[in-house]
Chain A
Amino acid sequence: MYKSIIKTMKDVPLEEFYTSGHRTCQGCESAMVMRYLAKVAGPRTIVVGATGCMYVANTTYYTTSWVVPWVHTQLGGSGAAALGTSAALRALMRKGKIKEEPINVIVFCGDLGCADMGLSGVSNAMTYDYNLLIVLYDNESSANTDIQETSMTPYGAQTSFSRPGTARRIMKRRWKKSVVPMIIAGHRNIRYAATTTPAYPLDTMNKIKKALEIGGPTFIHSLDPCPKGWDYDPMYSHELGTLSVETGLWPLYEFVDGKLIYNEPTKGIVEGRVKRKPVREYLEKQGRFSHFTEEDYEYFQKMVDEMYTSWEIPGVMPIKSVIK
């Protein structure tokens, strides 16, 4: 179905379309996502970026890192920007006002912009049949405003909106939303959606490639470890990404034409070949969980266990069917 899947690093295109000029933090995994998506998409691409740390860090006037055309959209504007760009291309090509050719439209948005403010717009974009890819780069906080809580911040994590405190442990008590299941369950015409994390570069690049080749409205949710927000040494970015998958907290899967496919190592976990690592290994490496008590670790582990022991689709869909 897919023409050229990237099998090894040697198959990755050499050209860069997201190059020097950005000022993302050391160890920034979201910057890797930008680089992968530009590399895989190639030069016939329009990238739209919503407000977020990837706007602030990447496109400072005079030092933009984008080789392909790049446009800013407002924090909650991702879905609409994707629709507008794609609709314009379709209309102009159909009416012969510009040359007819495939042009990729990729819009990226952070967790605050995509999963909170912009969710209705992203959802609306997913109901149309335009060719567009929306990439949610999720560093689990509002990362350019000094690390504030979003609905995607994990349970218990310290942010400047959710502080453990000394008198009262006022911390985040909400569990993180599952965005991709929400997208695939609610939008019948979507042919491709996936989770990924840049700790698995081939996985990320292949998913971007597949999304663009399948076309229509497509969605990728990437979990991006953030040294600043998560409070760890930048050298451990990939390790934390790997651990998020190996502990089962961040399952890797893709939804292709109505079928759910797990990717390694999540596939091994779901099939019982690979044992999940204790989630504590992942949490202990991050300063944002440093206030965790034994009860917190236990609660967190229990919630992750449930994803695999009692969910209808392990790690993806919690709603249990009543008719067996």
Chain B
Amino acid sequence: MTELVQKEILLNGTQAVAYAAMYADVDVTAAYPIRPYTEVMDTISKLIADGQLDAEFIVAEGEHGQFEIVKHASLTGARTLVGTSGVGWLYGMEAIVVTATDRAPVVAVIGNRALDDPGAYGVEHNDALMVRDVGWLLVWVDTAQEAFDTALIAYRVGEDSRVLMPVGVSMDGGFLTHSEQIVRLPPRELVKDFLPAYNRGKYLVHPDNPISVAPQVNEDWVSEIRRQHDEGMERARTVISEAYESFKKVFGRYPGTTRDIKMFENPFVEPYMTDDAEVILVGMGTVSKPIKVAINKMREQGIKVGMLRIRWFRPFPTQEVMKYLSGAKVVCVVDRDYSLGSPFRGGVVYHEVRSSLYDLDERPKILSFIGGLGGREITVQDAEKVIKIGLEARDTPITRHTYWINVRGDPW
């Protein structure tokens, strides 16, 4: 039945992606349980059982199998959904890497989770960041609405013949995977206008098109293949921008926007009060919530502070980061991850931002804040303290590059 009206329903982050996959009419899904991503598969299973979606639902023997299943289904022309969290993502890593190098545009939900040991199922971004260098597109979402919209965009971008790459839709475990919000679902009929059918063209595996996929090349061709992959990654920037514009045109609202939330219209980043800010905080995912509240409070006191939330981490929004951070005196990057042994002992996003700003004539000072690991909350008070440290650094030379937020035995 055609639905030409918009619907509003209560969904959490993972359910929202499952609904998007239903709207995208996925053909094959591969499931294996691990908290906190699992509910996307629970939901898909129910949608199939209720006749809302016609798709194969395969329970894999592990994450390695899960990603091999969707990789081969995708090469055979099927639209696929997969996902995992934490160590599950690492268990599947070999298959995850070839999914990218075989240019299979699967869409994966990554419910960010701390890596073992010690066992913890709260959010930490190190799991998804493991693929930052192997050719996956990676996007972090902040609300259930953004999760739904971004999942649709993920299919459109990944399957574009200029890109053909897998997309990881990352969301904070617990804080977004398990918190329900009102999600505005577009009329299903319109999805066809936004999302064309998946067409692998001359790369389709079918007896009518007898190609060999991933033959051995040894040293002869690897450089060229990596180079081509990188060119696809660069083209993805254009394709992502087109997809956001098209989304707005077809559905009449910018991705992530609802009645209550107005999203800044840039696909890659969400700047918040950055225009005149002297101190700008940078982060990905739901950390934006306490930070925005702290900013609002500080702004009432006349303190010029803002935030830049990074959405697409791969391709990295270098130009946007330069544009929105160049006017700041101090940039405080709040990472929900850590890169052990890295320069200045900082987080991964910190290093990417630091690297992006290197070419500026007048570079802001940059500090790394590590917080909320393993699902610990980053509170409004924590965010205020980050801002305070940033303000101090504005007027005094930097003596310390990295701060661990609210960690036992480490006063900050």
Contact = CB atoms under 8 A, between A and B. Distances in A.
Given A61-B216, A88-B27, A67 B72 contact: no
A80 B64 contact: yes
B148 to A, nearest CB: 23
B182 interface: no
Interface in A80-136: 80-85, 87-92, 94-95, 97-98, 103, 120-121, 123-124, 128
Interface residues of A, number: 45
A90 B66 CA distance: 18
A74 interface: yes
A84 B218 CA distance: 27
Contacts of B211: 69-70
A67 B212 CA distance: 9
Contact of B213 (A56, A71, A80, A97): A71
B56 A87 contact: yes
B210 to A, nearest CB: 5
B215 A61 contact: yes
B76 A92 contact: yes
Contact of B72 (A43, A73, A90): A73
A77 interface: yes
B131 to A, nearest CB: 16
Contacts of A73: 68, 72
Interface string B191-233: 0000001000000011101111111111011000000000000
Contact of B58 (A67, A68, A87): A87
Contacts of A189: none
A71 B210 contact: no
A161 B55 CA distance: 45
B55 A91 contact: yes
Nearest to B59: A124
Contacts of B215: 59-61, 64, 70, 72
A82 B210 CA distance: 17
Interface string B100-136: 0000000000000000000000000000000000000
A131 to B, nearest CB: 13
Interface stretch (A44-52, A162-170, A272-280, A303-311): A44-52
A55 B30 CA distance: 26
A92 B205 CA distance: 13
Nearest to A64: B212
A78 B75 CA distance: 15
A126 B213 CA distance: 25
B77 A97 contact: yes
Contacts of B221: 61
Contacts of A94: 54
B327 interface: no
Interface string A30-58: 00000000000001111010000001100
B68 A74 contact: yes
Contacts of B74: 84, 88
B144 interface: no
B69 A87 contact: yes
> What 4 A-B pairs are tightest by C-beta distance, nearest first?
A84-B72, A80-B68, A88-B78, A80-B65
28 contacts: A46-B207, A60-B215, A64-B212, A66-B210, A69-B206, A69-B213, A70-B213, A72-B213, A74-B68, A77-B68, A79-B65, A80-B65, A80-B67, A80-B68, A81-B71, A84-B28, A84-B69, A84-B74, A85-B205, A87-B28, A87-B73, A88-B72, A91-B73, A91-B78, A92-B78, A97-B197, A121-B61, A121-B65
Given A80-B68, A120-B61, 10 more contacts: A45-B207, A80-B64, A80-B67, A83-B58, A84-B68, A87-B78, A88-B73, A92-B27, A95-B25, A121-B68
Interface of A: 43-46, 48, 55-56, 59-61, 64, 66-74, 76-77, 79-85, 87-92, 94-95, 97-98, 103, 120-121, 123-124, 128
